[in-house]
Amino acid sequence: MNPLSTTGLKNVWAEYEPDLLAVEDCLLQFSESTTETIRDVTTHIIRSGGKRLRPLLMVISSRLSEYSGSNMVLLSAVVEFIHTATLLHDDVVDRAEMRRGRPAVNQLWGNQSAVLVGDYLYATALWMATGIHNHEINDVLTLACRKMSEGEVLELMLDNNLDATEEDYLKVVECKTAALTAGTCRMGAILGDLDTAGKKALEDFGYYIGMAFQVADDTLDYMAREDRLGKTLGKDLSEGKMTLPLLHCLAHSSASRREQLVRMMGQGEITALQLGDVLGLMKETGSLEFSLEKAMLFMRKAKQSLDPFPDSSHKQNLLALSDFIIERDL
């Protein structure tokens, strides 16, 4: 299993490693008690690693809320299963060939299996959560899943849409990414039986950290070190994904340069030379700087959300995680 970072967050990882290893065992345990295809598909994607951002948020939020019982591990596995389900669905929609450096599930087992196992993981996650017998947690999870499904549809409508706006893009990010991270942190507060203000503060932190993470991730698609990002640079452009850097660039380019950019959108894999041209244009329009500043704005709001909490190692670790969201691959 891959830690969040091989350099920046070693101390954070070490502090919660026993909990996160327990989460990993829980994921594998619930993957084993299924049919062969479901077991093989689920094990394949779980063992491919990933940042495990949501389980880490679940664990730290619970600890910050002074909870350390077994439900923290169970809910960490729940949110990771939900996230994994979205990855399976995304890869089918995007016709992805690779996921986390390994062949995508849809390439190995086909689109039908990928979609159906994704549905199974959604259902399994919600079933696991019902064992806690907490209506508030059930409400948080089902609302997050509803928003994530809405986000999938909104993103599909956004692809190659030259009339898309920044507001349209941020709505997709809110639904697809921030809904689950916000719900994850709120559930940590629920487990710790915090008051209404404490639950709202942690939920806000999760929301803003989710927004920051996705905006930064979409910006890094154009500028990160490819070996660290884990995917082909320029992939969003080749698929016609209307992310913030592209939207800003389209809005601030000359007519001729905009036409050049539009021709490359959604045409399939782009060459290194074409990517270089796009990066040059984004430099001219300040699109990457604009997008990173937007991500940093969300990150600063995430940090401010933690102001009501007294200083502790758990609070400091959430603050460190906030910095990592922006700096992880630059």
Residues 6+ apart with CB under 8 A from 63: 16, 72, 188, 314
pLDDT above 80 (res 233)? no
Structure tokens of 207?
A: 């929301």
CA distance 182 to 200: 9
> Over the stretch 280-305, which tens digit does the pLDDT of each residue have?
999 999 999 999 999 999 999 999 99
Q: Which of 135-139, 170-174, 217-221 has the lowest mean pLDDT?
A: 217-221
pLDDT at position 231 is 54
Cα separations in angstroms, 36 against 41, 42, 114: 9, 10, 14
**Tens of pLDDT along 56-103?**
999 999 999 999 999 999 999 999 999 999 999 999 998 888 888 789
Domains of the chain (ranges, CATH numbers): 10-327 (1.10.600.10)
Share of the chain above pLDDT 70, in %: 93
Q: Looking at per-residue confidence, does 183 or 228 come out higher?
A: 183
* pLDDT for the residue 270: 80
pLDDT band at 49 (very low <50, low <70, confident <90, very high): confident
